[in-house]
Amino acid sequence: MTGATADAGREVPDATGSRALRSRPFPLFWTSQATSKFGSAMTVVVLPLVAVDTLHAGTFLVGVLQAAAWLPWLVIGLVVGAWVDRVSRWRVMLLSDVVSAVAFVSVPVAWWLGWLTVWHLFVVALIGGVAAVFYSTAYNAYLPALLPGADLAAANSRLQGTEKAAQVTGPGLGGVLAQAIGAAGVLLVDAVTFVVSAVCLRFLRVPERHLRAEKPSGGRTRGLLREIGAGIRFVGTDGYLRSLTLYAAVSNLASGALQAILVVFPARTVGLPPATIGVLIGAIGVGGVLGAVVAAPLSRRFGTARTIVLCEVIAMPFALLVPLTHNGFGLVFLVVGGVVVTAGVVPPNVISAAFVQTYCPAGMIGRISASMRVVNFGTLPLGALLGGALGESLGPRATMWIIAGTLTACTVLLLCGPVARVRDLPTRPETAGRWHE
C-alpha cells in the first residue's frame, strides 16, 4: 500500500475533500449517483404502495416483493464480485443503469394498459435487484480509480450524504405524486433518473487497469471459482472484515423485516394516507444527512473503530420508540426513533466503505466487497420474508417490537469483536503477504 492509502484507514479527512473531488470525473460520478438514488428513494415507498393500494396485496406478499429485490445478492453476488474485478467497472455501471430504467418503466406502461399484476412487480423487483448487484459491486470498486486513497473517506462521506438527502426528499415527493397520479405512474420518474445516471456515466471515463485482478505467474487467468475463493478467504480470515460482516448480516436481517412492513405499518395499523407516509419516511432520512455530516468529525475525535461502535450502540436502542407510533402526536415516536437510528447507521457505513477500499488489495476489492455483501445483504431477503410472515400472523405492531428488540440486541456482536478493542481501524491486513497477487 502507498502512504496515502495507509493513512486512509486511520483518519477520515475533512468532508470538503481536496481538488480531486472538484475535478471533472468526481462531480459527474456524484451527479450520476445522486439522480439514481433520488429515484430509488421514491421507489422505496412507491413500489410497496403499488402492491398495497393498486393491487391490494397482503403483508406477506409485500414482504416477498421486498425479498425479490435483495435475493440476487445471495444467488449471484459472489460471481459478480469476481467478474467485476476482470472487466471494465465503468461499463458494468452504465449497463446496469440502462437495465434498471427499462425494468421500472415497464410498470407504468403495464398499468396504463391494464396488464399490471403482482407477478409483474416481482419480476421488476428481481431485475432491479440483479442490476443493483452489478452496479453496487462495480461502484464500490470503481471509486479508487477516480480518487487517491486519501480522498476516499471524504468522497464516501459526500456520497452517503447525498444518498441520505435523496432519502429525505424522495419518499415525500413519491408519496405526494402517488396520491395525485397513482403509485404506478411515479415509477416513470424513477426510470428517468436511471437514464440521467447513465448519461452522466457515458461522459465519465477514467483508466482503471491498475484496479484489475492480476494474472498469476504462469500467465493464465486463474479460474473464476479460485478468484471467488480468494475473496471469501480474505474476509473469513481477517478479524476486522469478518466482525463487520457478521454484525451487518444480523442487523440487516432485522432491517429486511423492517422494510417489509415499513409502509404496511403506517398505512394499515396507524391509518395514514400515502402522502403522509412518504413525508414521514422522508423525515426519517434527515438522520442520514446528519450522520454523513458528523462522520468525519466523530472519526477524528474518537477514532474510526470507536466511532463505529459508539454510533451503533447509542443509536440502535432508539428503534424501540417506533412500535409506540400512533396517529396524531404519536407520530413523533416514528420520526425520532427513525431519525436517530438512521443517523447512527451512516457514520459506520462511511467509515467501513473507505476502510474496504483502502485496506484491501486493489485487484481484489470487487471480490472482497461482494463476499461481504453476499453475507450482509443476503440476510435482507430472508428478513423481508420473515417480516412479511410475522406481520401477517402477529400483526405489524407486534412485528415492529420484535424488529426493534433485535436491532438493539445485535450490537453485542460488535462489542465482542476486534473493532471494539482498538481506537482506529488498521491500515493494512496482517495477512497482506499471503494475499499478494
Q: Mean pLDDT across the chain, nearest whole number?
A: 80
Diameter over CA atoms, the chain: 69
Name the range with the highest mean pLDDT among 17-31, 354-368, 396-410. 396-410
Name the range with the highest mean pLDDT among 138-142, 153-157, 340-344, 355-359. 340-344
Question: Sorting pLDDT into bands at 50, 70 and 90, what band is 358?
Answer: confident
CATH number where 170 lies: 1.20.1250.20
Name the range with the highest mean pLDDT among 39-48, 213-222, 306-315. 306-315
Of all residues in the chain, the percent with pLDDT exceeding 70 is: 85
pLDDT higher than 70, residue 437: no
Q: Give me the pLDDT at residue 293, please.
A: 83
Q: What is the domain extent for residue 381?
A: 3-204+225-435
Please compute the mean of the pLDDT values over residues 52-63 and round it to a whole number.
77
**What Å distances lie between residue 381 and 154, 258, 345, 378, 408, CA to CA?**
31, 11, 19, 6, 20
**Cα 399 to chain centroid, rounded:** 23
Q: Give me the pLDDT at residue 229, please.
A: 83
Spatial contact of 79 and 291, defined as CB atoms under 8 Å apart: no
Q: Give me the pLDDT at residue 87, please.
A: 79
With a CB cutoff of 8 Å and minimum separation 6, the contacts of 178 are 45, 46, 49, 53, 186, 274, 275, 278
Would you say residue 219 lies in a domain? no
Q: Lowest mean pLDDT: which of 69-83, 164-178, 224-238, 336-350?
A: 164-178
Would you say residue 370 lies in a domain? yes
Q: Give me the pLDDT at residue 403, please.
A: 94
With a CB cutoff of 8 Å and minimum separation 6, the contacts of 409 are none
Would you say residue 352 lies in a domain? yes
Kindly state the helix (H) or strand (E) to which residue 116 belongs, with its residue range: none
Spatial contact of 191 and 98, defined as CB atoms under 8 Å apart: no
Would you say residue 217 lies in a domain? no
Its pTM stands at: 0.69
Please compute the mean of the pLDDT values over residues 27-40 and round it to a whole number.
83
Q: Lowest mean pLDDT: which of 30-39, 156-165, 279-288?
A: 156-165
Would you say residue 373 lies in a domain? yes
pLDDT higher than 60, residue 231: yes
Q: Give me the pLDDT at residue 164, please.
A: 66
pLDDT higher than 80, residue 39: no
Question: Sorting pLDDT into bands at 50, 70 and 90, what band is 243?
Answer: very high
**What confidence tens digit (pLDDT) does each residue in 177-201 have?**
777 777 777 788 888 889 999 999 8
Q: Give me the pLDDT at residue 408, please.
A: 94
C-alpha span between 398 and 9 (Å, rounded): 41
Would you say residue 154 lies in a domain? yes
Please compute the mean of the pLDDT values over residues 58-87 and round it to a whole number.
80
C-alpha span between 222 and 398 (Å, rounded): 51
Please compute the mean of the pLDDT values over residues 41-55 and round it to a whole number.
77
Q: Give me the pLDDT at residue 308, please.
A: 95
User: Which has the higher per-residue pLDDT, 393 or 148?
Assistant: 393
**What confidence tens digit (pLDDT) does each residue in 93-112 have?**
899 999 999 999 999 899 88
Cell 410472515 belongs to 389
Spatial contact of 185 and 306, defined as CB atoms under 8 Å apart: no
**What Å distances lie between residue 285 and 38, 125, 309, 407, CA to CA?**
12, 22, 21, 18
Would you say residue 210 lies in a domain? no
Q: Give me the pLDDT at residue 52, please.
A: 77
Tally of domains in the chain = 1
Please compute the mean of the pLDDT values over residues 353-378 and round it to a whole number.
81
* Backbone angles phi and psi of 114, in degrees to 5: 80, 20
CA atoms within 13 A on the CB side of 263: 32
Spatial contact of 251 and 405, defined as CB atoms under 8 Å apart: no
Would you say residue 214 lies in a domain? no
